[in-house]
Amino acid sequence: MSHRPDAPETGSAEPNLDFEGTTPYEDYVQADVLTHLQHPLSDDPGELVFLVTTQVMELWFTVIVHEWRTAADRLRADDVPGALAALKRSTYELQALNASWEPLAHLTPAQFNAYRSALGEGSGFQSAMYRRMEFLLGEKSASMLVPHQGAPRVHGELEKSLYEPSLYDEVLRFLARRGEDIPADVLERDVSRRYEPDPAVEAVWARVYAASDDSGRGRDEAGELLRLGEALTEVAELVWRWRNDHLVATRRAMGAKTGTGGSAGVAWLEKRAAKNVFPELWTARSHV
């Protein structure tokens, strides 16, 4: 771009507005792709809101999966500060994800019904990226691969996640390397199956939370484990809030009717909302 003779002489040039092709912003963000991915199937104006909101949720799922995988990798390398940083970032992202419910949280049944038929057999439980989130939390289920068998790349990524240790598996392995008494059957469990709480793991977290200067470990080490426990608890609480916000939004929009995709709707969501993520971190508090 040629020099602008009327540009200010303060040292802060005017922005470049002349590009031969697409703008550098577009090249990096792919905004034109993102803003043309919405294809409503009804004439109801609310459907566009639903589409954009769910697409935004998928993007947040992607970021959170990245953060939790990073945290797991850092723990595998015994890098607690790196793991804590990733977990902390994920809490901000979870807050943004949970806020995504706001445009849908106040739908009346009539408003939702205006475009519900456009979903056909589509349902949020079919989200592969959300399933990867759940797998990282230890909520494993091989049956959840079945909906994706017609999409080889997606199925392969999800299958890989199924057979990898969850974030919590890596936490427990890290605690064992730090000398905590994590049972062998927990450390050597089939990681493709749902994690089940263990009394011995609960006892470990109780000791971490009760640790004092004369606990037999250094103050820095005890504080590090406590910070890890609190970071995981924050993640767990925000996941619980996500599930509850989903439940409330669904109750408002469709009551107790069968959910999209043939799911049990509210009944299924109630069951999910009742479960704690990283369960021993919650039950251990009763013993401190």
Instruction: Report the alpha-carbon distance of residue 226 to residue 170 in Å, rounded.
Output: 16
Among residues 181, 173, 38, 61, which one has the least CA distance to residue 126?
61
Tell me: is residue 10 an annotated ligand-binding position.
no
Q: If you compute the radius of gyration of the chain from its CA atoms, what whole number of angstroms results? A: 23
Residue 262: pLDDT over 80: no
Q: What is the token pair recorded at 258?
A: 């069968």
Instruction: Specify the pTM.
Output: 0.88
Which CATH number applies to 43-111+124-254+262-287: 1.10.10.10, 1.20.58.480, 3.40.50.2000, 3.40.50.20? Answer: 1.20.58.480
For the stretch 82-130, pLDDT in tens is: 999 999 999 999 999 999 999 998 889 999 889 888 888 888 889 999 9
Output the CA–CA distances (angstroms, integers) from residue 102 to 53, 54, 162, 182, 237, in the order listed: 9, 12, 31, 41, 18
pLDDT digits (tens, 9 = 90+) for 42-95: 999 999 999 999 999 999 999 999 999 999 999 999 999 999 999 999 999 999
CA dihedral 129, 133, 135, 140 (to 10 degrees): -80
Residue 260 among known ligand-binding residues: yes
